[in-house]
Chain A
């Protein structure tokens, strides 16, 4: 099992450019999450998906959109990148069903110039 995979690992964008961060899990998990990590801020939830076909906003959703393409994949899109979105992005998944142990991907380091 690969667990949770994320692509790309690194990305540099110019202000106003768009991009999609990809996340996939092969553990048959129901719930998937996108977080951003900034120094001194811990992890902040951007969006989550409790099951295929559903998505909900987290703590910091502005400037982002998500798609739960199928049970395995959960993508995060920046339509018009801003320097404030420079961060490390983590995808995570859980089985759902009340088990909140999260499995994390390796992260994507995004810089917006």
Chain B
């Protein structure tokens, strides 16, 4: 079985401060892990993905995530928030080589305070 838990439904940070969005997963298979971003009234865009290569994954717009197998976590971070980062973020777990096992977290809405 697979599941993914985003630990915070809302996160607020001030512009220029670090961002941390938390994600925990469980998987019976070797997992692939993804973070997607959705800006208001838009579709989803891939930020980054982990597929069993390097455990520290760098994505677009300065985001990165670290796969920690011992903690079953894949937290998303960014050193310095920008106003344009305000959006909803989804953590996704899937089973490698299994296209029918893609599970979305419920999302974390990131608010950036001026």
Contacts and interface: CB of A to CB of B under 8 A. Distances in A.
Contact of B104 (A30, A43, A107): A43
A42 B43 contact: no
Interface in A93-113: 94, 96, 98, 100-107
- Residue of B9, B42, B45, B107 with highest tally of chain A CB at under 10 A: B107
B7 interface: no
B99 A104 contact: no
B32 to A, nearest CB: 5
Given A48-B99, A98-B97, A100-B99, A42 B46 contact: no
Contacts of B94: 100
A39 to B, nearest CB: 9
Contacts of A41: 106
Interface residues of B, number: 24
A48 B46 contact: no
Range of interface residues on chain A?
20 to 34
Contacts of B42: 106-107
7 tightest Cβ-Cβ pairs between the two chains A and B: A98-B97, A100-B94, A42-B106, A104-B43, A43-B104, A42-B104, A104-B44
Interface of B: 9, 32, 34, 36, 42-46, 49, 90, 92, 94-100, 102, 104-107
Interface of A: 30-31, 33, 35, 40-45, 48, 50, 56, 90, 92, 94, 96, 98, 100-107
